[in-house]
Structure 1
Amino acid sequence: MSESEADAAVWKLIYLARRNPALRPEDFPQAWREHSALGRQCLNVGRRVVAVAQCSRWLQACAPALSREHDGVNLMVLADRDAGAAIWSDPETLAVMRPDEPRVFADYVRNFSMLCRQRLLRSRLPAAALPQKGDVVLLGFLQRSDAWLGVASAPQACPAQWQQGALDLAARIVCNTVEEEAPKGHGYRYIVEWWFDGREQALAAAQALGEADAGGAYGWGDSVFMLTEVTHCRP
């Protein structure tokens, strides 16, 4: 991975989803795929969104640090930073996708989405590699605060601890810095992706997280960790 690849500006909209309680956990990925398919009717979504990876919680994963209160994480790569704001007021999105959101999610998507800038820390894959269905991703939402302090006031980004121990087995590590004030209850500073070659390595990393997080290795405030699989992606 070259320095230019690591420093290239990549903007994302990332959301931490809870399903509509009327849906069974095992039915959520399909409902989510159906919702994503509506985006084909929205021309501006196609122009503003470069790639999408729907990462659904691995229901069989058991480790003390892993959240069972959330059902998925959407990693949406944007054409540019402005797309992260424009998408919320787009007439097609409001007419086609927003009315379907309560069927799938516990709230409207805007209320749990965060605009981020990606920093690729390490990868054995090409920097521009896109997620594939079945990929295994451990995700960490870190350093939550009830007050927005701005990016300039944040602690040193991407501490070395996020690349050590069992996490060092990851084939790809991405640190996303939240660049704008997040919705209430979602004031995370960093969203970290650890991409693994398989479930066994990912589960070993997840099992090691609890003790380290309790010791403050991942920063201050509330953290959310999820072990997921990519159940839908495009292109």
Structure 2
Amino acid sequence: MVEAMMKEKNQPTVWKMIYLARRNPVLAAADFPQAWREHSALGRQCKNVGQRVKAVAQCSRQLPADAPALSTDYDGVNLMVLADREAGAAIWDDAETLAIMRPDEPRVFADYVRNFSVLCRQQVLYERMAADAAAALLPQKAQVMLIGFLQRSDEWQGAATSPILCPAQWRMGGLNQASHIVCNTLDEKAPAGYGYRYIVEWWFDTVEQALSAAQSLDVSGAAQDGEFGWGEHVFILTEVTHTRP
């Protein structure tokens, strides 16, 4: 039997580093996921990365972007679960990471990863699952996801301290077919151009559901306003093309 659950309180604290990536323009779009996987594999050579990063999901923009609300300016979203909040700062200054992973970043991306990454606290707002199934910490390979970067502001607004109840707008239209809704709230000032207050993941069972949700997105002026409106935003339709462990 399938049950619906709203997630409000008493969730374990989950810290995530998330980045919104553009590929190196010399890479064809079709070649980006493989280059990205190769870059991720370098992390196995970095002992401290293994200790600080619990899980990774690379979400590539591989699906047809034929909905007006969808952006084609970016190539993927990386979701990285951290061991703790401190890992979000320590990883940037780690000697192994600087020596092994950072030199490879220009091969894959249009900029260094630190310049488009943000630290967030995760909250699961909704999940639909069988009673005996465990909730996934991150989506698994081939999961189809719509990801929204919402309410961009280069002025740091401070971290949210109260749990969020799933806003009605985040369940409207085709979004109500999502099997899982996760809100990642920015927890520190972001690099310029990436100060989105909320990063929301909508997980879908099928490509058709995800496309329907994207096509139903209301991006009119009225939808931008309010505490949980889209504001200045980026929506990207993705498929998980690599996970680890």
Q: Give the shorter-chain TM-score range.
A: over 0.9
Q: One-letter code of the match for 1:193?
A: E
Among candidates 159, 167, 192, match of residue 175 of structure 2: 167
In structure 1, the gaps of 5 or more residues are none
In structure 2, the gaps of 5 or more residues are none
Q: TM-score, normalised by structure 2?
A: 0.89
Q: One-letter code of the match for 2:216?
A: A
Deviation at 1:158, TM superposition (A): 5.0
Count of matched residue positions in the alignment of Structure 1 and Structure 2? 233
C-alpha distance after superposition, 1:168-200 (max 9, x if no partner): 100000000000000000110000000000100
SS of structure 2 residue aligned to 1:106: coil
Q: CA, structure 1 residues 161+2, in 2 after alignment: closer, same or farther (shift >3 Å)?
A: closer
2:40 is the counterpart of 1:36 = yes
**Aligned positions of 1:8-87 closer than 5 A:** 8-87=12-91
Among candidates 177, 194, 199, match of residue 186 of structure 1: 194
SS of structure 2 residue aligned to 1:70: coil
Structure 2 counterpart of 1:226 = 236
Q: One-letter code of the match for 1:77?
A: V
| Most deviating of 2-11 and 43-52 | 2-11
**Residues 126 and 166 in structure 2, CA contact (< 8 A), matched pair in contact too:** no
Among candidates 126, 132, 156, match of residue 148 of structure 1: 156
Deviation at 1:100, TM superposition (A): 0.2
Q: CA, structure 1 residues 137+61, in 2 after alignment: closer, same or farther (shift >3 Å)?
A: same
Q: CA, structure 1 residues 153+216, in 2 after alignment: closer, same or farther (shift >3 Å)?
A: farther
Deviation at 1:232, TM superposition (A): 0.3
SS of structure 2 residue aligned to 1:162: helix
What percent of counterpart residues are identical?
Answer: 69
More helix by share: 1
Q: TM-score, normalised by structure 1?
A: 0.92
Supply the distance in 1 between the matched residues of 2:165 and 2:185 (Cα, whole angstroms): 8
Structure 2 counterpart of 1:89 = 93
Q: One-letter code of the match for 1:65?
A: A
**Residues 6 and 127 in structure 2, CA contact (< 8 A), matched pair in contact too:** no
**Aligned positions of 1:122-141 closer than 5 A:** 122-125=126-129, 126-141=134-149
